[in-house]
Structure 1
Amino acid sequence: MERESGQLERELRVAERSYGSDHRHLVVARSYLTKLLGNVRLVRHLAQHHSEFLAEFQRIADGDAATA
């Protein structure tokens, strides 16, 4: 049990260290996605051919990704 606890603590420390970098990447990706959704032609294409993707992209750009 102590060995498992130690392993969990090590994994937690690794996750804590990478959180900042992961968060930064997500913020940049969300910003880029928001900019792409400002392109009317792209949105029209997605609406016509990939509406399920468009709905998810809009949800992420609106900041509702945490409710997935």
Structure 2
Amino acid sequence: MKKGIHPQMQWISYVTPSGRLMNVMMTKIHQVGKVYHFRAKRQMAESIGQIAKFKRRYGEKTEEPEKK
């Protein structure tokens, strides 16, 4: 954390429905280091971490492949 900003603020990362990882500034009400998944609460476990993000994108090809 940088000095000089609100002591109860922290960076929260969450995954949007489009699969993008976003970082937002929030008040400190949650544990640090979690990735919040806005699709479903039960999917939160597999959405935590960069490895799971990579797996979601390249590993299991359940949905249609991305069009570039």
Q: Provide TM-score, normalisation by structure 2.
A: 0.29
Structure having the higher Rg: 1
Q: Which has the higher strand share?
A: 2
Q: Which has the higher helix share?
A: 1
Q: Provide TM-score, normalisation by structure 1.
A: 0.29
